[in-house]
Structure 1
Amino acid sequence: MRDVALAPPSTAPLTGGLADSVFETADRSPTLPVLARRRETSPSVWEEVTAVELRDEVVDLAKGLIASGISPGHRVAIMARTRYEWTVLGYALWTVGAEVVPIHPTASRDQVEWFLKDSGCVAVVVEDEQAVMTVGSVCASLPRLRHVWQLDAGALQELVARGEFIPLATVDSLRRIVLPDSTAVIAYTSGTTGHPLGCALSHRGLASPCDTLLAGWRQTTAPPGEQGSVLAFLPFSHVYGLMIQGVCLRGGLLMGHEPDLDAETLSAALRSFRPTYFYGVPSIFEKIYKNFLRTAQQNGRGALFERAAETARDFAAACERQRLGEGPGPGFDLRLQHALYERTVYRKLRGALGGRARRATSGGSPLNRELSLFYEGIGIYVHDGYGLTETCAGITMQPLGRERSGTVGKALPGTDIRVADDGEILVRGPSVFQGYVGDPAATRAALPAGWLATGDLGRLDPEGYLTITGRKKDVIITSSGKSVAPSLLEHRLRMHPLVHQAVIVGDNRPCVGALITLDPDFLAHWRTGLAMQSDTPSREAREENALREEIARAVAAANSAVSRAESIRVFRVLPGQFDLASGLLTPSMKLRRDRIVQTYAFEIDAMYQARSRPGRLRLPDDLASWDDADNVFR
């Protein structure tokens, strides 16, 4: 092994289950607002739910679950978006000792069947009639399934009514026998190859990163004297969303729910809820940046925004050098420029996120350093962390006062990180999962010598900062034997406003290629600007040529970060998007690479064939045949 970063001791150990925090907060601070839900008659108005009100709702629903035969160890699936009922239901299930199986609401019929069968669920909670039909179509293969409850049909109210005769003492007795090492969640991995694996996550494992983050970073969630607030919008079917929920309810932060990830809806929710802390995945932060740029250009202030963004990055980089003891900090001229843009630009950008957030967290995959510096420069520092399903989400965080953009920070207290000789990141700590359900062989393979083999590649610097360089299984090996980690190229491609998604390909090919999708909102804006410049009959051809040039510039910018042998030499722009409905994205918005390559096999073949030259086919490894990046459009 090499590169070892051992962390300091952890926080106090957990003594019960996750549901205890709801009861303890209600006893300690009964009137503390802990959840907020929209008023039915006015969606922009949020009504607060106090700790004691939440506890009573959880108890009433727990009684209904008991009356329906839900017992400790039973597994119940929740197939719903991020909504108020998800939280109440999840904590009611943990109160009676049941295990939650989160399923994304857009999961396919085959996925739903596998999740419910593999986990042995006795009940499933869905949102609407469409989901009822999906579950109903697979019920014949699910002999253990007893209940299908539909939220939009009043299922929770019916459960509460059913449990009226259950005494409170029964609920308390079940809650008190839940142990820290009892399984709380069966979370399924993305399953890019073969069937998804169910990760058994304990109450202790899920609570550990939440309590550690609260102990060391609570002060970043709100200004002194204010209660922190978070708008939850990422799916609770992914462990990142569950961790955010856990941090809020264990830490007494006010949490609202936004089930719709549509850009306009989410933006309106942020402005009305006004969170003090923001979180997301890199694609969310990229989208927000592009929306800032597009809005500025539409208002004729594109050049002003770009100057302000450059100043923000320069200012943040100078501040970073100062706090790390590597420089004197921003000079007078830079401070003056930054102060000017603070009054004219940055304050308005923060207002688009509600106006109160000064810190944020990014997870799911590494955040581009330039983007991280931009957000820090406008006054919202983004803590880029690292974790995975098998570690109950977060295992690293940026140390306060020593943050370093471009890394995912250092190991959380109580967690140990190593990097093996082949570059794979190994993890050991209290949040590591219990194993894969029904697959002891896969569990043994993932936990060699007590360390979790994450499958991620990275490096630790002498101070313990971890940098993620890619996924072990994603490394591309060209026909000439060159190994290429795709993440850096993909991140840099996505920094271009027109690029929405990018997938690097090239296994057993003579060079690296890229499949690119375009940002529909920015593309429409770009086309409008181009049309204003010319209304001639040749506008369509002119537009296509201009688009080729723009994407070629994006490719050239990405290639500037790598060697010639690793650079993109062919690319194709696809007409659609990689999305959840097509099965090409995971619920955490990660690319399903294997499926994308299979789906677009014809386009990939055509992309490479378009650049091959007669007479050179016997020398596929000769990169002289691939001097210029191809820009094939459909």
Structure 2
Amino acid sequence: MREFTVPPVVTAPPVGGLADVVFDHAADDPDRVALGRRPAPGEPWQEVTAAAFRDEVLALAKGLIAQGIRFGDRVAVMSRTRYEWTLFDFALWCIGAQLVPLYPTSSTEQVFWMLHDADVSACVVEHEDHAMTVGSVVDRLPRLARLWQLDAGAVHELTEAGAGIGDDVVHRHRMALTPDSPATVIYTSGTTGRPKGCVLTHGNFMAEADNVVRRYDPVFRSRPGDEASTLLFLPLAHVFGRMVQVAAVRGRVKLGHQPQLTVAALLPDLQEFRPTFVLAVPYVFEGILAAARREAELQGKGRPFEKAVEVAVRYARAQESKAFGTGPGPGTALRVQHQVFDKLVYSKVRETLGGRVRHAMSGGSAMERRLGLFFAGAGITVFEGYGLTETTGAAVANPPERTRFGTVGRPVPGTSVRIADDGEVWLRGGQVFPGYLGDRRATEEVLRGGWLATGDLGALDDDGYLTIIGRKKEILVTSGGKSVPPLVLEERVRAHPLVAQCIAVGNDRPYVAALITLDQEAVAHWRAMREQPPVEPAELVRDPELEAEIRRAVVAANTLVSQAESIRAFRILVGRFTEEQGLLTPTLKLKRKAIEKAYATEVEALYAT
């Protein structure tokens, strides 16, 4: 058993709730630009001052009271990431209500389960399709009394309804809150079984956000003295997005919203909003690198680009070694090469993020070490972190001054990490949730003497850096008795530009095999560069050149493990695993059992010879 603790840098306040900062900041600096707001796609960004945000929050809170929302009520929101979500969050917190996020892609039955389990009394939806989804189950939800639609003027409607309510009514509600008061109920992604509602308190968010903001404050700005700003494009239905939202408001970081988590939609807004810091998932960083690579190849500069990637990786690796006292840092020749490529390549990569980003944070899934090294060498240090819904976001993250790429870092201030005897990661800290809604048995299974048993397997090094090996329940055990964590293999295969997804299989089988899906845009580009005509996906997966290229990715992954743990066979699939098929969670995690069931024929074929 190993354990590592980092003491807190901020102590949670003994009184009050999350909405208090909206009023405190407006009183301290009413003209500070607190948020950026885009009224509609294509329209210019509008500045929202701290005073204006306070007034909107207060007006909406009064409208909610006028419409029957009471202290302790739960109100669901089904929407993409947008300004109004943040407005509703803080308005509901003003009156002691709790927001229950619903993914906009949730199925009818998922929506019913969460609304029923959380005993929701009102619901906010983004548009008519969401309204129809909720409407289809409303007859089974006798407690659901109100439904508001953002695109049909919900904010204006509620503001008008609350015009006759006095400010003091809201403030009485707000003053009754304590850090132990529930702030939200977030349902787990549900890779196995029915989603469980994680109850997170105001104090959980305070402990998490305030310690992260204080620890990472210097990296929120491109240069000292810059106005800190971030563009939030993570789903606010996920704890990572909610933590970013709360931390930005509490930390006086200008916050903008972008509703589409695709690289194509995201890059134009990043270049216009020009944030100083971004928080994303590895998929976004992978997409940025892939887009830059394709652009270079189209210009006939593929080889110089790959050289620039290699120089960036070597440069960052040398800097990392120097930071940990194991090397002298980049040599003269490497520094010269780096300077040349900084003008030709790296500056253009930074420009895709708006030109001001020098630091970023990644979470949600593992980031491949080489990808992190490339961005660091290109002038954007990505701090990888790790956490769960049950820990209100990041419990572990790489520190700014000593980033160890390929790990998820050290405990954030106020957090302890323990590796149990069986290799499971346990966490303790002020951000750890009090339990699952109405599920005492499930709560007791994960909360053990103040520690949260995460279900993840990991290793702590002597400096307190944590490496995640995989999920306990996802370890493959071959028929020969070999235990294989699939994550390291899958992530390495997925690092290949042509690969979209990879899932390793092999439970009770003689060896490990894999199902692999393709990045169709990357494959189309790859074929075009070889002057090959477009083909149908069914024909594409039988292309011997493509198969040879994917085989190289598998061989590269196999170098990380022993022969007994290596991928012996693979199958390239025609389509991708999607959430609509029930094969991915809303956070794009693989549903392993569902995939193996859906592709049972393909799995059997891997072991037919």
Q: TM-score, normalised by structure 2?
A: 0.97
Q: Distance in 1 between matches of 2:42 and 2:400?
A: 39
Q: Which amino acid aligns with 2:259?
A: P
Q: Secondary structure at the match of 2:543?
A: helix
Q: Distance in 1 between matches of 2:346 and 2:559?
A: 29
Matched, 1:259 2:259: yes
Tell me which residue corresponds to 1:344.
Answer: 344
Tell me which residue corresponds to 2:165.
Answer: 166
Q: Which amino acid aligns with 1:70?
A: I
Deviation at 1:341, TM superposition (A): 0.4
CA contact (8 A) 1:527 1:543 kept: no
Q: Secondary structure at the match of 2:531?
A: helix
Q: Secondary structure at the match of 1:326?
A: coil
Tell me which residue corresponds to 2:179.
Answer: 180
Q: 1:174 to 1:256 in 2, by over 3 A?
A: same
Matched, 1:519 2:516: no
CA contact (8 A) 2:541 2:572 kept: no
CA contact (8 A) 1:9 1:414 kept: yes
Within 5 Å, give how 1:103-122 maps onto structure 2: 103-122=102-121
Q: Distance in 1 between matches of 2:22 and 2:323?
A: 38
CA contact (8 A) 2:286 2:371 kept: yes
Q: Distance in 1 between matches of 2:534 and 2:309?
A: 32
Q: 1:297 to 1:470 in 2, by over 3 A?
A: same
Q: Distance in 2 between matches of 1:315 and 1:361?
A: 20
Deviation at 1:580, TM superposition (A): 2.5
Q: Secondary structure at the match of 1:531?
A: coil
Tell me which residue corresponds to 1:66.
Answer: 65
Matched, 1:549 2:548: yes
CA contact (8 A) 1:477 1:508 kept: yes
Matched, 1:226 2:223: no
Q: Which amino acid aligns with 1:341?
A: F
Matched, 1:560 2:559: yes
Tell me which residue corresponds to 2:155.
Answer: 156
Tell me which residue corresponds to 2:269.
Answer: 269
Q: Which amino acid aligns with 1:431?
A: Q
Q: Secondary structure at the match of 2:320?
A: helix
Q: Distance in 2 between matches of 1:181 and 1:593?
A: 36
Aligned length: 604
Q: Distance in 2 between matches of 1:580 and 1:83?
A: 22
Deviation at 1:40, TM superposition (A): 4.2
Deviation at 1:176, TM superposition (A): 0.9
- Give the fraction of aligned pairs with identical amino acids, expressed as a percent: 49
Tell me which residue corresponds to 1:239.
Answer: 239
CA contact (8 A) 1:293 1:305 kept: yes
Deviation at 1:95, TM superposition (A): 0.7
Matched, 1:291 2:291: yes
Tell me which residue corresponds to 1:580.
Answer: 579
Tell me which residue corresponds to 1:626.
Answer: none
Tell me which residue corresponds to 1:319.
Answer: 319
Matched, 1:250 2:242: no
Tell me which residue corresponds to 2:54.
Answer: 55
Q: Note the alpha carbon deviations across 1:233-283, whole angstroms, 9 max, x for none.
A: 110000000011011100111111110123221111111111110221112
Q: Distance in 2 between matches of 1:262 and 1:212?
A: 30
Q: Which amino acid aligns with 1:101?
A: V
Q: Distance in 2 between matches of 1:548 and 1:138?
A: 46
Tell me which residue corresponds to 1:492.
Answer: 492
Tell me which residue corresponds to 1:192.
Answer: 191
Tell me which residue corresponds to 2:124.
Answer: 125
Deviation at 1:448, TM superposition (A): 1.6
Deviation at 1:543, TM superposition (A): 7.9
Within 5 Å, give how 1:521-536 maps onto structure 2: 521-531=521-531
Unaligned runs of 5+ in 2: none
Tell me which residue corresponds to 2:418.
Answer: 418
CA contact (8 A) 2:541 2:574 kept: no
Tell me which residue corresponds to 2:373.
Answer: 373
CA contact (8 A) 1:3 1:461 kept: no
Q: 1:296 to 1:66 in 2, by over 3 A?
A: same
Q: TM-score, normalised by structure 1?
A: 0.93
CA contact (8 A) 2:182 2:200 kept: yes
Tell me which residue corresponds to 1:141.
Answer: 140
Deviation at 1:400, TM superposition (A): 2.8
Q: 1:74 to 1:302 in 2, by over 3 A?
A: same
How well do the aligned residues superpose, as a CA RMSD in angstroms? 1.6
Tell me which residue corresponds to 2:502.
Answer: 502
Unaligned runs of 5+ in 1: 613-634
Tell me which residue corresponds to 1:78.
Answer: 77
Deviation at 1:290, TM superposition (A): 1.3
Within 5 Å, give how 1:357-396 maps onto structure 2: 357-396=357-396
CA contact (8 A) 2:541 2:573 kept: no
Q: 1:401 to 1:144 in 2, by over 3 A?
A: same
Deviation at 1:584, TM superposition (A): 2.1
Q: Distance in 2 between matches of 1:189 and 1:276?
A: 31
Tell me whether 321-330 or 281-290 shows the greater mean CA deviation.
281-290
CA contact (8 A) 1:530 1:543 kept: no
Deviation at 1:535, TM superposition (A): 11
Deviation at 1:372, TM superposition (A): 0.7
